[in-house]
Structure 1
Amino acid sequence: MLFIDASVIVAIIGQEDDAEHLMDRLSDDDGPFYVSALVRMEATLALTRQMAEAQGRNKPATPEIVGKARRLVDQFIADLEAREAMISGDVGTKALDAAQLYGKIVNHPAKLNLGDCFTYACAKAYRTRIAYKGDDFAETDLGW
């Protein structure tokens, strides 16, 4: 069981340098895979920014760019047959716990931001590991 952070989705869809490595790591895992509505939104907005910048836009993204990013994220999640992790009150409490233990706000080396705290909380609630890019979760107990 693996909860997929937005950073992995963005890296793979955005064809970043480590995209193939991350996809191989996902392929090596039997799943099931989980994402949340917050991960879906965070990945969509990050891809929108990437796509707008790639077009040389110095202006805000267009609704069409957001729509394209949204479709790409939705298709990626569907292709993985990822399950939707519900963000309940318990998950909210676990996200606050993550901020208190591992957050930027307390200057912990993990420096988890809001999205990271919810990824951590969902993984805790669903008893999964976290697929992530970077070092954010390496300083926690749920790394990949």
Structure 2
Amino acid sequence: MFVDASAIVAILNREPEADAFADAIERSAAPVTSPIAVFEATLGLCRIRHAAVEEAAADVAEFLSVAAIRCLPIASEEADTALVAAARYGKGRGHPAQLNLGDCFAYAMARNRRIPLLFKGDDFTKTDIDSAA
């Protein structure tokens, strides 16, 4: 499964979905994420907690380590698929999903690997991606 930034933030902030997301990750044979999701999760924690980047980055890194979530590199194929997602589902395209850059890359990582996506919110429910929740 691909773990989106929104799921990471939800778990680290003990949001209502945190336990369900943590259980899904624990059940996954090989949970993965990307540098873009790590970046987004770190900045999300900074905003919510009014924390320094270094502190939020350390929290995200520790979580990824404890949860055994591997951070995979982004290949050129993901950029191609992210562009397809942006054209189809991106902000300003008239589609209700309104995916942003990070969302498009999460979509691409999951789509190209044929794995479900763990996310919070309803943006991805308006796409053709499989949900891990």
| Structure 2 unaligned blocks of 5 or more | none
What is the 5 A alignment of 1:1-144?
A: 2-27=1-26, 29-52=27-50, 65-144=52-131
What is the CA-CA distance between 1:21 and the residue it aligns to?
2.6
| Residue deviations 1:105-138 (CA, integer Å, cap 9, x gap) | 2121111111100000111122211000010111
Counterpart contact for 1:3–1:122, Cα < 8 Å: yes
| Residue deviations 1:25-81 (CA, integer Å, cap 9, x gap) | 333x332011000000000000011111xxxxxxxx6xxx21111111001111121
Separation of aligned partners in 2, 1:107 and 1:31: 36
Structure-2 residue corresponding to 1:58: none
RMSD of aligned C-alpha atoms?
A: 1.3
Structure-2 residue corresponding to 1:56: none
Q: Give 1:39's aligned amino acid.
A: A
Counterpart contact for 2:25–2:31, Cα < 8 Å: no
Q: SS at the partner of 2:32?
A: strand
Separation of aligned partners in 2, 1:85 and 1:103: 23
Separation of aligned partners in 2, 1:46 and 1:80: 19
Runs of 4+ in 1 over 4 A off after TM superposition: none
Counterpart contact for 1:85–1:122, Cα < 8 Å: no
Higher Rg: 1
| Structure 1 unaligned blocks of 5 or more | 53-60
What is the CA-CA distance between 1:141 and the residue it aligns to?
1.8
